[in-house]
C-alpha cells in the first residue's frame, strides 16, 4: 500500500511540474511587440560630405519619418546618400533598404531611425515603443556580450517599422531613446 501511495505522489509531482512548465511557456507568449526591426546592422545614417565624397559619420541620429518626403528630407539633413544614384553607397544594402520605404509603406506605417556609435562588447536591443504625451519613446537595452573584444567604436543603424494602428503618432513632436 505504501508503494502505491509513493507512486501516486511521484506521478502527481511530475504532472504538476509539467503543468507549471507549460504555464511558464505560455506566460512568455504574452504581449506582442508593436514594431518590426527592418534593419539592424553596422552602418550610419549620418554621413560627412567632403570634396563630393560621402563618409560615414559618428553622430547619434534619432529621427522619425511619417512620409516618404520626410524620409528624403532626413536623408538630405544628415547627408545620407541613399537616394543619390551617383553615390558609391547607392547600391549598398543599407541604402537599398532605406529606398524600399515607399509611399505605400507610409500609408500604414512610420519609420524610426536610430543610428549610434557603440563598442564591440555591447549590443543594443529594442524592447518596446510607447508614447508619453507628444514624445515617442524607444526603450532599448544594452547587453554586454561575452568574450574578448577590441575597444574601437563603430556605427550601427537600426530602422524600426511601426504600424500607425499600433501607436498613435498624430501628436508626436519628439523622439527619445531610453536605455535600460
Q: What is the pLDDT of residue 83?
A: 96
Looking at the structure, tell me whether residues 71 and 158 fall in a common domain: yes
Report d(CA 61, CA 43) in Å as an integer.
12
Looking at the structure, tell me whether residues 14 and 83 fall in a common domain: no
Looking at the structure, tell me whether residues 116 and 167 fall in a common domain: yes
Looking at the structure, tell me whether residues 47 and 128 fall in a common domain: yes
pLDDT band at 20 (very low <50, low <70, confident <90, very high): very low
Looking at the structure, tell me whether residues 123 and 154 fall in a common domain: yes
The C-alpha cell that represents 162 in the structure block: 511601426
Report d(CA 49, CA 81) in Å as an integer.
10
pLDDT band at 139 (very low <50, low <70, confident <90, very high): very high
pLDDT band at 8 (very low <50, low <70, confident <90, very high): low
Report d(CA 141, CA 149) in Å as an integer.
19
- DSSP E strand boundaries for 12-101: 36-42, 47-50, 53-56, 61-65
Looking at the structure, tell me whether residues 3 and 63 fall in a common domain: no
Domain enclosing residue 116, as ranges: 32-179
Looking at the structure, tell me whether residues 26 and 36 fall in a common domain: no
Looking at the structure, tell me whether residues 63 and 129 fall in a common domain: yes
How confident is the model over 53-90, as pLDDT tens digits? 666 777 788 999 999 999 999 999 988 999 999 988 89
Q: What is the pLDDT of residue 53?
A: 65
Q: Which runs of consecutive H residues, i.e. helices, occur in 31-153?
A: 68-77, 93-99, 103-108
Looking at the structure, tell me whether residues 115 and 90 fall in a common domain: yes
Q: What is the pLDDT of residue 64?
A: 95
- Judge whether residue 19 has pLDDT over 70: no
- Judge whether residue 91 has pLDDT over 80: yes
CA torsion 85-88-92-94 (nearest 10°) is: -80
Looking at the structure, tell me whether residues 1 and 82 fall in a common domain: no
56 or 93, which is more confident:
93
- Judge whether residue 171 has pLDDT over 60: yes
pLDDT band at 50 (very low <50, low <70, confident <90, very high): low
Report d(CA 117, CA 159) in Å as an integer.
15
Looking at the structure, tell me whether residues 102 and 120 fall in a common domain: yes
How confident is the model over 95-129, as pLDDT tens digits? 999 999 999 999 999 999 999 888 777 889 999 99
pLDDT band at 146 (very low <50, low <70, confident <90, very high): confident
149 or 5, which is more confident:
149
Looking at the structure, tell me whether residues 40 and 126 fall in a common domain: yes
- 142: Cβ–Cβ under 8 A, 6 or more apart, which residues? 122, 123, 124, 179, 180
**Domain count along the chain:** 2
How confident is the model over 22-46, as pLDDT tens digits? 444 443 333 456 899 999 998 888 8
Amino acid at each position: 500500500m505504501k508503494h502505491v501511495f509513493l507512486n501516486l505522489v511521484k506521478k502527481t509531482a511530475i504532472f504538476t511540474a509539467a503543468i507549471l512548465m507549460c504555464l511558464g511557456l505560455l506566460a512568455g507568449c504574452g504581449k506582442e511587440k508593436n514594431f518590426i526591426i527592418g534593419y539592424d546592422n553596422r552602418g550610419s545614417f549620418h554621413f560627412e560630405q567632403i570634396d563630393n565624397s560621402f563618409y560615414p559619420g559618428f553622430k547619434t541620429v534619432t529621427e522619425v519619418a511619417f512620409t516618404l518626403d520626410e524620409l528624403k528630407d532626413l536623408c538630405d539633413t544628415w547627408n545620407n546618400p541613399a537616394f543619390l544614384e551617383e553615390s558609391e553607397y547607392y547600391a549598398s544594402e543599407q541604402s537599398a533598404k532605406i529606398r524600399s520605404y515607399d509611399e505605400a509603406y507610409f500609408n500604414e506605417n512610420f519609420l524610426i531611425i536610430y543610428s549610434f556609435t557603440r563598442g564591440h562588447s555591447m549590443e543594443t536591443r529594442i524592447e518596446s515603443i510607447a508614447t508619453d504625451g507628444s514624445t515617442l519613446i524607444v526603450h532599448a537595452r544594452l547587453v554586454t556580450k561575452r568574450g574578448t573584444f577590441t575597444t574601437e567604436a563603430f556605427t550601427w543603424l537600426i530602422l524600426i517599422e511601426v504600424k500607425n494602428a499600433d501607436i498613435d503618432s498624430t501628436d508626436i513632436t519628439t523622439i527619445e531613446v531610453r536605455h535600460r
